[in-house]
């Protein structure tokens, strides 16, 4: 079964505020050394997908830098491999992507060209670890036209997610996109598996008529005509771009050994750009409790309940509690941060104290405070 993977990674992620001022939400750093897109990309590669297109639009520099030639995901190949699909200027048009369906339609050549039979569409913002092969089998055995990944809506706010209602055979009979009312008891995880030809037909019949959204204009209107099946995923799943609080919570989830084991199981690895930094070092004055610490860090202060990214320097007498500290940041002597998110290369100066109360305090890239 040959499958083309497509990852939607063009969004800014409005709700993340300054965190996504200079990067797309798919490039948001997460869990100490990863970027959000690593999860979907690794899931696809592990399922045997050899050709993956990443659709980007919003400030892609950081994302491009991260993906490179796709080598870390074994996608630097003579045949197939990683394709970066950006909006472009042509004879006929010069348009940004006007929606998810439009983004796919503008890159219809990629769909038309390859010899793949199926297409798997995912999002670059989702943190989860899944084996896709049972999904493919399920799609065939239920003779589905489209298979959508869903999850029990328990614990998720329906105004943030699409919700679906299924009949007793798991066929989707109702679908509501981000409304207050929950139509069923499942949320849409934004992963679609279908025949490539069908995808192309659907795109050709909608996008030229000014309908640009994959869910609103393609999936929902076809609920009756097409057999759209729901595949229920029961593992850990988070969308990082919903809010800053949700983003921080996702990071903090890594302090739960069960989540850590599920996401980073040695049998189902998540790959990311390697940096070959030295192992983290805890010096004689340092201590680390209930936290994760990535490579290249030197910890001489005290760290509690935090996620520490690569190359962070926590100096003697400094206290880091309940915070997310991104790559290259320095917490200088005697300072204290509680409930903060530090973007990359932030410096907290000596003996300063920053405490986030209801919402985490956010410090922008390169800030010195």
Please name which of 281, 286, 284, 285 lies closest in space to residue 298, comparing C-alpha atoms: 281
Q: Please, are residues 330 and 348 in contact by the beta-carbon 8 Å criterion? A: yes
* Nearer CB in complex with other proteins: 216/249: 249
> Token digits for 75?
């996608």
CA distance 183 to 164: 6
Residue 302 CB, nearest distance to other proteins (Å)?
11
Give me the least distance between CB of 144 and other proteins, in Å please.
33
Cβ-proximal residues to 134 (8 Å cutoff; 6+ apart), any chain? none
Q: Would you say 164 or 263 has its CB closer to other proteins?
A: 263
In angstroms, the CA 146 to CA 135 distance is 11
Closest separation in Å from C-beta 291 to other proteins: 5
How many CB atoms within 10 Å of residue 52? 25
Q: In what order do the strands lie in the sheet with 361-363?
A: 307-308, 324-325, 340-342, 361-363
How many C-beta atoms surround the C-beta of residue 200 within 10 A?
16
Binding interface with other proteins (CB under 8 A): 31-33, 254-255, 257, 260, 263-264, 266, 269-272, 274, 276-284, 286-296, 298, 303, 307-309
Length of the chain measured in residues: 369
Residue 230 and residue 148 in contact, taking contact as beta carbons nearer than 8 Å: yes
CB of 157 to other proteins, least distance (A): 28
Q: Measured between alpha carbons, how far is 166 from 365 in angstroms, rounded to an integer?
A: 44
Hey, what are 82's tokens?
A: 């990683």
Q: Which is nearer to other proteins, 202 or 298 (CB)?
A: 298
Q: What is the DSSP string of 23-61?
A: S-GGG-EETTTEETHHHHHHHHHHTT--EEEEE--SS-H
The nearer residue to other proteins, 197 or 281, going by C-beta atoms, is 281
Torsions phi, psi for 218 (to 5 deg): -115, -50
Query: What is the closest distance, in whole angstroms, from the C-beta atom of residue 119 to other proteins in the complex?
Result: 27
Q: Which residue, 3 or 270, is less far from other proteins as judged by CB?
A: 270
* Element holding 67 (H helix, E strand): helix 61-67
Please, which residue, 186 or 310, has the CB nearer to other proteins? 310
* Contact criterion met (CB below 8 Å) for 244 and 16: yes
Which of residues 12 and 71 has its CB atom nearest to other proteins in the complex? 71
Least Å distance, CB 25 to other proteins, is 21
CB of 358 to other proteins, least distance (A): 25
51 and 83 in contact (C-beta within 8 Å)?
Answer: yes
Residue closer to other proteins (CB basis): 155 or 266:
266
Task: Write down the least CB distance from residue 346 to other proteins, Å.
Answer: 18
- Minimum CB separation from other proteins for residue 268, in Å? 11
Nearer to other proteins, 213 or 295 (CB): 295
Residue with smaller CB distance to other proteins, 20 or 42: 42
Contact 312, 333 (CB under 8 A): no
Compute the least distance from the CB of residue 342 to other proteins, in Å: 16
40 is written with which tokens? 């979907």
């Amino acid at each position: 079964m040959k499958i083309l993977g497509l990852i939607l990674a063009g969004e800014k992620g409005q709700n993340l505020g300054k965190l996504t001022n200079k990067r797309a939400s798919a490039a948001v750093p997460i869990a100490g050394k990863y970027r959000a897109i690593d999860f979907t990309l690794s899931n696809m590669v592990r399922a045997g997908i050899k050709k993956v297109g990443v659709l980007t639009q919003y400030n892609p520099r950081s994302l491009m830098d991260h993906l490179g030639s796709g080598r870390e995901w074994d996608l630097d190949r003579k045949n197939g491999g990683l394709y970066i699909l950006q909006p472009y200027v042509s004879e006929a048009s010069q348009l940004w992507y006007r929606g998810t369906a439009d983004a796919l339609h503008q890159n219809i050549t990629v769909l038309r060209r390859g010899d793949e039979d199926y297409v798997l569409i995912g999002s670059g913002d989702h943190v989860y670890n899944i084996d896709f092969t049972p999904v493919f089998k399920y799609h065939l055995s239920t003779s589905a036209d489209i298979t959508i990944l869903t999850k029990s809506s328990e614990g998720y706010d329906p105004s943030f997610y699409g919700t679906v209602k299924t009949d007793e055979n798991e066929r989707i009979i109702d679908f509501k996109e981000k409304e207050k009312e929950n139509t069923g008891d499942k949320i849409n995880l934004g992963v679609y598996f279908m025949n490539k030809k069908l995808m192309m037909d659907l795109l050709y019949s909608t996008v030229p008529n000014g309908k640009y959204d994959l869910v609103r204009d393609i999936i929902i209107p076809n609920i009756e005509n097409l057999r759209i099946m729901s595949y229920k995923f029961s593992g850990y799943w988070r969308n990082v771009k919903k809010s800053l609080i949700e983003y921080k919570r996702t990071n903090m989830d890594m302090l739960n050994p069960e989540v850590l084991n599920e996401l980073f199981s040695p049998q189902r690895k998540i790959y990311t750009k390697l940096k070959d930094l030295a192992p983290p070092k805890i010096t004689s004055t340092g201590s680390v409790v209930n936290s994760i610490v990535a490579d290249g860090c030197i910890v001489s202060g005290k760290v509690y309940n935090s996620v520490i990214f690569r190359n962070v320097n926590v100096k003697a007498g400094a206290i880091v509690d309940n915070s997310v500290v991104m790559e290259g940041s320095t917490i200088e002597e005697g300072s204290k941060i509680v409930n903060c998110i530090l973007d990359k290369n932030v410096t907290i100066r000596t003996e300063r104290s920053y405490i986030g109360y209801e919402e985490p305090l956010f410090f922008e890239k390169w800030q010195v405070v």
